[in-house]
Structure 1
Amino acid sequence: MRRLFLAACAGVLLAVSCAHDKAASSVPAPPFKPEATGRGGAAATIDVRATAAAIEILKDGGNAVDAAVAAAATVGVTDLYSCAIGGGGFMVIYLADEQRVVTVEHREKAPRALHRGLFYENGAPIPMPEVMTSGLSTGVPGNVRGWELALERYGTRRLSEVLKPAIRIAEQGFEVDETFFEQTTRNVERFKLFSSSAQLLLTPDGKPRPVGSVFTNPELAKTYRLVAKGGSQAFYRGEIAQAIVGTLARPPVVPDAPRKVRPGVMQLSDLADYEARVREPVKSTYRGYTVYGMPAPSSGGLTVGLALNLLEGFEPASMSRVDFLHRYLEASRVSFADRTAYVADPEYVDVPVAGLLSKDYAAERRKAMDLASAAARELPPGNPFSFQEDPSFLPRTAAGPSASLGPSVLDVPNRETTHISTTDKAGNIVSYTCTIEAEGGSGIVVPGYGFLLNNEVTDFDVPPSPTAPHANIPEPGKRPRSSMSPTLVLKDGAPVVALGSPGGSTIITTVLQTLVNHLDLGMPLLEAVAAPRVSQRNTPDGKSQAEPEFIASPEAAALKERGHTFTSSGQIGAVTGLRFNPDGTVTAVAEPKRRGGGSAMVVEEAGR
């Protein structure tokens, strides 16, 4: 979300410092910029202050990793419903001097005392609302450890330095805009359940803070200062850790709360022992491009890679746009069938990565795509195990290659998350998606520390039966499968595009559709991002979710004649990305309208 009044203050840095000035906040905002082209570095986020924080770090000599962490910490202040230190994320990094891609996985993980039985009552899954707003839903947060690891290995600044813009904004405040107001409004009843959440996020009479008011968060500023001084140990041990564990064990529920709130099972040792991971990226090819994404426990890289492999068998120039859109939807359907069955935490499940990304497997799975009409049902998964490089490879999970499961009762679309895209003058790139899961996470603010706790445990699959096998079931210490899909695309060794999106399981289709729009259909990146979206995720009813603009399009009408059916979803995703141009400039792009629009900036604008 953008809060553009800030830019009316003189300069980007002064914009942050004048946030608390009510006179300044009434100054009309300048035109909003979802696109910027230039040199010396670039950033794109969903919030103007987060983008400005990244540019501030770049102008001060920091690199893309430093800038990404600064932006994420700032989002934790200005868009605390989407990404905060109470959550986790996935970071894909291109190291220009080494021409190498690495990933930093700092996904939340289940506490050791958590097991699948906690998600059933009387033999049936607990209803989603009860799990979502509870201590039981919170995984061990990963962001702080991930930020520190990324900075230590690949950055140039200390955590204490990159937290400064976020601390400044938390202390001095920012003006509530329409998007922030709407996010609060959708969660008022949840926030009212908890005294700490109501105190921070609502007015004394229990209403959303009005548009135009100034929102400050001195408790979060205090928390950031503790982390700035003590590093990640200040978060995972000591007073913050004790506050997290105490909050989950005894949620600060108001007297006479209208609903039951289940406690969590996290212990201090879960926090103290948390580790971020440096993992090899998922690597695939597509029409001469090299595509890098996140490996498991994210399903994004594998599912996007498989879908692109399926689409590679068709030439978009030789068919109509409707023909290609039909193939895009059917490729998504097939890919999601395999994603649901096989992708989970690789420390608990042997994920058939080589098989899923095999070109031969894609050729086999392409046979499941009906080129004439849409599948009106949920497709079963294929068998990627026979395409593994090692023919003796067998899965450790009891689910086996024939396992199939429809969407979990906890797998609802349009989860709130955010994506950050940064690059620097040396050519390093960061594509970073971070989250606290649902909009507002668990709904529980840690009393005295100013941040919401995630409800990431809801990303596990909970089969209808408590004894049914599945790769992504809840287990002690396990990381739930994610759909986050930070992506980098190179050609002949040179970066072409970096992008990602929020949106729950629609993240995968949003990234895939944006790539198809840009790489196959020739749309400029901003146009590819702005185009109406449609998401097919192999649901039991066979339907695709689509934005109203897509449903009203001539393409949708033609697809309906082929058997496609659509349900209106409202907005899908909120992409930010970078396009690396042949002349050496970079074009930063953010959503022009979705979620109130994003913010794109460069260090030095082209032509200046």
Structure 2
Amino acid sequence: MFHLRFCTRLLWGSALLMQSFGLITVAQAAGQQDPESATGIQHKQQVRARQFMVVSANPYASEAGYQMLQLGGTAVDAAVAMQLVLGLVEPQSSGIGGGLFMLAWQDKTKQLHTLDGRETAPAAATPDWFVQDGKLLDWPQAFVGGKAVGTPGVIAALAQAQQKFGKLRWEQLFAPAIALAEQGFKVSPRLHMLLSGSRHPGLQRFANSRDYFYPDGKPLPVGFVRKNPAYAALLRSIAKDGPQAFYQGDNAKAIISAVNQATINPGQMTDADLQSYQPVWRDPICAPYREVKVCGMAPPSSGSIAVLQMLGILNHFELKTLKPESVAAVHLISQASRLAFADRERYAADPAFSPVPVAGLLAPAYLKQRAAQINLKADNQQITAGVPEGAVPLGEAKALEYANTSHLSVVDKDGNAVSMTTSIENAFGSGLMVNGYLLNNQLTDFSLQARDKGLWVANRVEAGKRPRSSMAPMLVFDQHNQLQMIAGSPGGSRIINYVAQSLVAMIDWQMGPQQAADLAKFTHRNDVLAVEEGTPLVHLPLQEMGYQVRVTELNSGLHLIKRDKAGWLGGADPRREGVAKGQ
């Protein structure tokens, strides 16, 4: 039963909202900020705070979280308000139609809680879910429409987290998003750019999405004040009645209708799929790196395991003596990434369906063995999955994860913290829009191919299963179990590289969070070495070491917080519109 305090009725007149919670300030403060150009990197100042800090992907969301902390709310309270706003102002990346992973640190009890709000496959799903007319769909065919939609987990997860760790009334957390949806928010350069350049077939084919994002047949222009009364109305219902207003009744009917009657790839979602959804509280996974302890999310997140594997491998090398953008640093981090990705492709999946040898993958002896495979002078051309203790024979198959998603980092005045990564997968998800929000396409995070060389693929589609994810929210603690850093990023499977590089920067190279976010990016997913265009990395002699190098845009979105002697430092990735704000 939903907690009684969530069901308290409030008078929700917009004037009352604005007067009670300062929402004129939300709109004005966010509107006064000029989000950076989505096509170029703009310098950002590191933010310092003594009491609390928020960092998120959009000024409106950071302002909402900041206001919750000013009202005496917890880090979880702030995270709820920020997510609800992000789903409105950054709809392409996350929202209540998707899923999340949350790390929630409680400083008084020195306990870390991790919550899996990942989407689930419908009961009708089978390993051949993406086989049509006897032929396996490729990813561009599969991700659009109803078949790609998993049961959303965001609202259920946020409600459980807030009931456990919140202080403010549930209703209060909805106020910023409701007011912005009713009064309107200014369309950002990034949203406009993604709409202008989108090749997502669903945005033009599905009427609700087309009418919302392309009024008069053109993409929403920068600065356009976009209102979303349908989203506001739904949020009012959820604020009043709790998660049941999302998973039952009119909203549930709208989801089912949109999914099952989609004009592209109709799905098979039912009332039971929605009403039976439950988030999962999981034990965190932690591992030592240098003098600190790094913690993250257990499977079905492959992201945290891969980051911890990379760090465990790099523990055998003295990175602090290397320059951050040197050949040696890029080489070692890339080789560690290749080894971690090789293991990821074989073993990472929903542990309820396929045993994941987490302890074996993170065992010091195993990581030492993997580190010994690194050739210090050349790229290793043959990196395959290892055989950690507890492993079973499995096939390998890739699942594409594109460079979207969102991340937020929060620490409150009591030292409680949240690192939360949240997503609807591809930009604009499935393309299906109901009640002012987009539905995810997370089922294409499964391997579309169920078997490989006669063996089952761990990350195949199955009923009720959660797809593998690269989301990697992380927290770092010192030897006294005191929180030191909060990290995470969007970016699809490149999240692993972005987060690992930022942790190395803050730990080995003693960088502040803004410096770490600013660093030139490079990624290696055991395929090619991608280096960020327009950076010094382009000129490194990496091809001479045997690397296949690809110069490209690497659109990380790191949101980082680091403790210092005076309080907290916050940094937001200059490649996106995020801002840090603290007091």
Same fold (TM over 0.5): yes
Q: Indicate yes or no: 2:573 matched with 1:591.
A: yes
Matches within 5 A, 1:97-496: 97-121=108-132, 123-187=134-198, 189-204=201-216, 206-251=217-262, 253=263, 261-318=264-321, 321-377=326-382, 379-385=383-389, 393=390, 400-401=392-393, 403-408=394-399, 411-414=400-403, 416-446=404-434, 449-463=435-449, 468-492=455-479, 493-496=481-484
How far, CA to CA, are the matches of 1:567 and 1:326 in structure 2?
15
How far, CA to CA, are the matches of 2:238 and 2:208 in structure 1?
21
Change (3 A) 1:121 1:189: closer
Gaps of 5+ in 1: 1-10, 254-260, 386-392
Instruction: Look up the SS of the partner of 2:219 in the other structure.
Output: coil
Q: Do the aligned partners of 1:226 and 1:234 also contact (CA within 8 Å) in 2?
A: yes
Shift of 1:76: 0.8
Q: Indicate yes or no: 2:582 matched with 1:579.
A: no
Q: Do the aligned partners of 1:125 and 1:464 also contact (CA within 8 Å) in 2?
A: no
How far, CA to CA, are the matches of 2:34 and 2:309 in structure 1?
44
Amino acid across the alignment from 1:380: T
Change (3 A) 1:227 1:341: same
How far, CA to CA, are the matches of 2:492 and 2:59 in structure 1?
23
Q: Do the aligned partners of 1:110 and 1:139 also contact (CA within 8 Å) in 2?
A: yes
Shift of 1:194: 0.5
Which residue number in structure 2 is paired with residue 14 of structure 1? 24
Change (3 A) 1:242 1:34: farther
Q: Do the aligned partners of 2:522 and 2:554 also contact (CA within 8 Å) in 1?
A: no
Instruction: Look up the SS of the partner of 1:105 in the other structure.
Output: strand
Percent identity between matched residues is 34
How far, CA to CA, are the matches of 2:193 and 2:316 in structure 1?
43
Give every structure 1 segment of 4 or more consecutive aligned residues whose post-TM-superposition deviation is greater than 6 Å. none
- Would you say how many aligned residue pairs link Structure 1 and Structure 2? 552
Q: Deviations over 1:200-243 (max 9, x none)?
A: 11112x21011221111010001111111110011111111111
Once the two structures are overlaid, the 10-residue window that deviates more, 262-271 or 158-167, is 158-167
Matches within 5 A, 1:69-80: 69-80=80-91
Instruction: Look up the SS of the partner of 2:456 in the other structure.
Output: coil
Instruction: Look up the SS of the partner of 1:224 in the other structure.
Output: helix
How far, CA to CA, are the matches of 1:33 and 1:219 in structure 2?
35
Once the two structures are overlaid, the 10-residue window that deviates more, 159-168 or 467-476, is 467-476
Instruction: Look up the SS of the partner of 1:384 in the other structure.
Output: coil
How far, CA to CA, are the matches of 2:413 and 2:211 in structure 1?
43
Change (3 A) 1:172 1:18: farther
Amino acid across the alignment from 2:346: A
Which residue number in structure 1 is paired with residue 17 of structure 2? none
Change (3 A) 1:283 1:329: same
Change (3 A) 1:404 1:375: farther
Shift of 1:55: 0.6
Shift of 1:159: 2.6
Amino acid across the alignment from 1:76: G
Q: Do the aligned partners of 1:34 and 1:600 also contact (CA within 8 Å) in 2?
A: no
Please report the RMSD computed on the Cα atoms of aligned residues, expressed in angstroms: 2.1
Which residue number in structure 2 is paired with residue 600 of structure 1? 580
Q: Deviations over 1:540-570 (max 9, x none)?
A: xxx11221134x437x523222122221331
Amino acid across the alignment from 1:149: Q
Amino acid across the alignment from 1:579: K
Once the two structures are overlaid, the 10-residue window that deviates more, 31-40 or 142-151, is 31-40
Instruction: Look up the SS of the partner of 1:505 in the other structure.
Output: helix
Q: Deviations over 1:390-432 (max 9, x none)?
A: xxx5x6xxxx34x352533xx1442x11000111110001001
How far, CA to CA, are the matches of 1:29 and 1:275 in structure 2?
39
Which residue number in structure 2 is paired with residue 390 of structure 1? none
Instruction: Look up the SS of the partner of 1:65 in the other structure.
Output: helix
Instruction: Look up the SS of the partner of 1:211 in the other structure.
Output: coil
Shift of 1:189: 4.3
Q: Do the aligned partners of 2:477 and 2:485 also contact (CA within 8 Å) in 1?
A: yes
Change (3 A) 1:317 1:501: closer
How far, CA to CA, are the matches of 1:578 and 1:318 in structure 2?
24
Change (3 A) 1:166 1:324: same
Q: Do the aligned partners of 2:405 and 2:425 also contact (CA within 8 Å) in 1?
A: yes
How far, CA to CA, are the matches of 1:277 and 1:147 in structure 2?
12
Amino acid across the alignment from 2:426: A
Instruction: Look up the SS of the partner of 1:522 in the other structure.
Output: coil
Shift of 1:468: 4.7
Q: Indicate yes or no: 2:102 matched with 1:91.
A: yes
Shift of 1:29: 5.0
